[in-house]
Amino acid sequence: MGRTESIQPRCLVRIAPERFSLLLARIVATLVLTHLLLQGIHYRIHELPWLFTELFDVDVEESFPTWFSAFMLFVSSVLLLAIATRAHEGHGRFVAHWYGLALGFAILSMDEVVGLHETLNTVTDFSWTIPGAVVVSAVGLFYLRFVTHLPSRTRWLFLIAGVLYLGGCLGVELVADYYDDAYGRRGLGYQWLTALEEGLEMLGVVVFIRALLDYLLLRDQLVVPVVGVVAQRTDSSGA
């Protein structure tokens, strides 16, 4: 309690990790299902106007799903920055790794809206997923020792989040690129692939945010001074 009072953030937002991650997951499911419903109507029943297709299209930068995905990536970056700051102040281990993750997720958040990786596809003869896989492999090797030193629960949540996110943005997107070359984007087949891709990516980020909030609880860092967030346990035992 003394630690909370000494920080005295201006604004506290109480967050229960379980409820918050469940809320995010429900929003993700709603966005993906809305995309599929509208695309199904558009291609199978009646052509819909731009307002109903583009704004809810998970594969378009100027859409609600893309905005929400960028928002979650930014939240991840802020939480990572808070953890890195605490680690730095407490002379903890792997400070540079936490700061590196915070920077990386900030870049991912920007890319979600700006579309840097899509731009790469327009200037090369191969999919961005190929060099992307190389970069991910290199980063994975650099962070291997960091991951093994995480608490068991956090480590498994990190791994699950990584499998979901990378399975979407590298695995499914590679398949979608081949489908696009063979059949084009106008059709339900491509829309199902993009829904799977973006759904896996967003679900991976949801799991990652849950992991970060759980990590703050495990470390008894209940107050995030950077943004004034309080991660609050929902069970009465406080375990």
Q: Confirm whether 219 is domain-assigned.
A: yes
Whether the Cβ atoms of residue 60 and residue 52 lie closer than 8 Å to each other: no
131 within some domain: yes
Give 230's strand partners. 14, 223
Expressed as residue numbers, the domain containing 216 is 17-116+125-231
List pLDDT tens digits, range 128-177: 667 778 888 899 899 999 999 999 999 999 999 999 999 998 888 888 88
Q: What is the domain count for the chain?
A: 1
Look at residue 2 and tell me if it is in a domain.
no
Q: Count other Cβ atoms within 10 Å, centred on residue 134.
A: 10
pTM listed for this prediction: 0.82
Check pLDDT > 50 for residue 113.
Answer: yes
User: Could you read off the pLDDT of 201-210 as tens digits, one per residue?
Assistant: 999 999 999 9
Give a yes or no: residue 238 inside a domain: no
At 200 the pLDDT is 96
In a domain, 163, yes or no: yes
Rounded CA separation 84/87 (Å): 5
Position 224 in a domain: yes
Residue 35 falls within a domain, yes or no?
A: yes
Q: Where are the alpha helices (DSSP H) in the chain?
A: 2-7, 17-44, 50-53, 64-89, 95-114, 116-123, 129-142, 144-148, 152-166, 173-183, 188-218
| 7 within a domain of the structure (yes/no) | no
- CA distance linking residue 47 with residue 120, whole number of Å: 31
**Angle at the Cα of 88 from the Cα atoms of 84 and 91, rounded to 5 degrees:** 135
Say whether pLDDT at 101 is over 60.
yes
Provide the residue type at 190 as one letter.
Answer: Y
DSSP codes joined into one string, 212-236: HHHHHHHTT--EETTTTEEE---ST
